[in-house]
Amino acid sequence: MEYRYLGQSGLKVPALGLGTGTFGGQGPLFSAWGQSGTDHARRMIDICLDAGLNLFDSADVYSDGASEAVLGEALAGRRQQAIVSTKVGLRTGSGPNDAGSSRQHLVSAVEASLKRLKTDYIDLLQLHAFDAHTPVEQVLQTLDALVQAGKVRYVGASNFSGWQLMKSLAAADRHGLPRYVANQAYYSLIGRDMEWELMPLGLDQGVGTMVWSPLGWGRLTGKIRRGQPLPEQSRLHQTEQFAPPVAAEHLYKVVDALEAVAQDTGKSVAQVAINWLLQRPTVASVLIGARNEEQLQQNLGAVGWQLSAEQIRLLDDASAVMPPYPYYPYWNGQFSELAPPAVRSSVQTL
């Protein structure tokens, strides 16, 4: 397993982390993802640790907290071997303060997560969404108190826009408060929006990217192909309404390129899609998910090798889309000399 620094935190994380949305299996969304109980989760963690994967990511809303509870049980006796990441901030109850990043909610949410995880500290706590109703200074002060109390070691964000993340980082610098070292973002060959703003921000500010849904909500597994019906076992039948949208023809164009590279490398479509992400700027860890041991072993095969420059170019060309204003002039040549060098050399020029 390759290990990478998480932004400018000094913390090293594995290139692949395990997303535990498949643990617990409660509710219409998460039960479609997977229904791993404690025994199955323990076996999956065994495989991960043997492979050098020691980062496990959860959230308090996954299966109404059951994901954290299963993860805590499955890590019993080996907590020190793991980097535990979880997220808070989305609605967890019907009360007026059961959502957001207020001091009231953050403190109670962290206490509840610690209890479910059966641990006295969280390695990486991420805000699951930006709360526009709570001043960023107050949010950071609360996070600072949690860090000072030893309950949280590092803080990060998830699903923030560029201005929201930058405003938070600027406030942290101004007041000497904890900076977000990680940005957990949706990123895949069929969802490259992160490249327009969040990737340059991460490069400039030293924020590491943790990728969620690297296979485009299950669309890049190799099971969805041009001219064929959606496979019966695909979770898209039950969860497509929650997924980031993608035009069918664009999806098939990307899958065609993935299949060509997979044949050339002898790897699976999913392994190629994940390996492409591992070559992208700012990416510290790609969070893989798996319902069973076979899927987990397949995804673990995405590391230990690299795509060639020509193969990356093929995938770049197939997946490229015109960025929205004001980003497209920086990529189509008009303002390209003003774009950050690392981005200009790695992001597709149209």
Catalytic residues, by residue number, are 62
CA distance 215 to 274: 7
Element at 212 (helix H, strand E): strand 208-212
Is 348 strand, coil or helix? Answer: coil
DSSP string, 226-275: TTSPPPTT-THHHHGGGSPP--HHHHHHHHHHHHHHHHHHT--HHHHHHH
Amino acid found at 312:
I
What is the DSSP-derived secondary structure letter of residue 324? Answer: P
CA distance 195 to 276: 14
Dihedral sign computed on CA atoms, order 294, 299, 303, 308: positive
Neighbouring residues of 143: CB distance < 8 A, sequence distance ≥ 6? 106, 125, 152, 155, 177, 178
Contact 125, 154 (CB under 8 A): yes
CB atoms within 10 A of CB 39: 11
CA distance 147 to 145: 5
